[in-house]
Amino acid sequence: MKPIWPALVTASLALFGAILGAFTSQGTSYEALGLTAVMASLLCLILVLFGNALSSTLAVGIALASAYLPIRQLSLIDETAEKLVGGWGYWAIFWGFLLTAFFAVGRVSLVEPNPNESRSLKHLRMVLPPATVPFILLLLWQGLVIGFQVPKGIFPGVHNVYAQLRSSLSVLLTDSYITFVKEVAFGFFLGVSTGFLVGVAIAYSKFLQRGFLPLAAAFGAVPIVGLAPVLGRAFGVDWQSKAAVVVIVTFFPVVLNTVQGLIQVDPIKLELLKAYAAKPIQIFYKLRLPNALPFLFNALKLAAVLSVISVIVAEFLIPGPPRGLGQRISLSARQGAYDVVFAAIFVSSLISIAIYQLLSLIERRLTGWHPSFREEGT
């Protein structure tokens, strides 16, 4: 394999900053940090020179850990003295190691699979790129906040969000119960069930296909910003109005995709079943419903994402009891408690990802026969 030339440049930058750079804006340098950074940058230089999958993987881990070193050192300085902005040595070490990890993980993702490589290494190559991106983003966030000494009231660091998450986890979980169980789960179940039944009725009725289906497509495009206040007036300002928002957001994608899945069946298979005198209910369960499952799961995954976004926006727009993650975000932002805002966003994102992954797992279990999964497996 060829060397990773961009990573060689960035690792050299980290080495140069560790040897000659002023760590703070006042020209302070730290020998312990400099020695560790020099050894780490030299090791990264050796690894990226090889440029194969194993050496690139090791370079990613070393570079990520080393990128945290200047952040940690500057944080310790701030705890014992006045806050100091990072000097050019800080930035050279930080950006050097961070970009080295970025270029090294890029090489890992581009390496051609070797038939003789071990299964664990193959699995590592598949997992490493998506697992590295969050660490790079978190280090970038923390490094910029610490390096420029941004106040918590303007933009909190990762450590501020983590501390707030630990101290107010019980409150955030209570808000999550209101948002995800009472509002999202109830509205999602109601919207999916009614949307599927309506979609089945439309698929078996030419009149509804011509009359209702265009209206469903048009009404599904109504912005939630305009609809939420109306639902708040109709259902009250408690969780019921937010659940109604989720029902509407979920209902129309499920209707449209269910109709498409039930109608777009293979005519040869349909004629074969009719030739064997299959009843309409048998055709539905043997042909139409399995054909509609991929369409339905696409709608479910889309609706799950839209439901969370819409219910958070609805909690912003419909004034009510100070409960729910949307209300928590809104109230905290007005008070300048942005660490609480990011903690609530983190909890909401984590639960949303879990819901999406659960739907994907169920989809794979029920539609593993679909060509898309067979192609993915090969």
Matching residue, tokens 């409150």: 171
Q: What is the DSSP string of 202-224?
A: HHT-HHHHHHTHHHHHHHTTS-H
Residue range 320-364, pLDDT digits in tens: 777 888 888 988 888 888 999 999 999 999 999 999 999 989 988
Matching residue, tokens 């809104």: 330
CA distances from residue 120 to 123, 127, 325 in whole angstroms, order as listed: 5, 10, 40
Q: Point out the least confidently predicted range of 68-82, 192-206, 244-258, 293-307.
A: 68-82
pLDDT surpasses 50 at 208: yes
pLDDT surpasses 60 at 377: no
Backbone angles phi, psi at 324, to 5 degrees: 105, 155
The conformational region for residue 236 under phi > 0 = left, psi -120 to 50 = alpha, else beta, is left
Residue range 209-236, pLDDT digits in tens: 888 877 877 776 777 777 778 888 888 7
Q: What percent of the chain has pLDDT over 90?
A: 37
Residue range 148-161, pLDDT digits in tens: 988 888 899 999 99
Please, are residues 188 and 304 in contact by the beta-carbon 8 Å criterion?
A: yes
Dihedral Cα 165, 359, 370, 114, nearest 10 deg: 20
Residue range 87-121, pLDDT digits in tens: 888 999 999 999 999 999 988 877 766 667 677 77
Tokens representing 300 are 């479910």
Regarding pTM above 0.85, the answer is no
Backbone angles phi, psi at 86, to 5 degrees: -65, 140
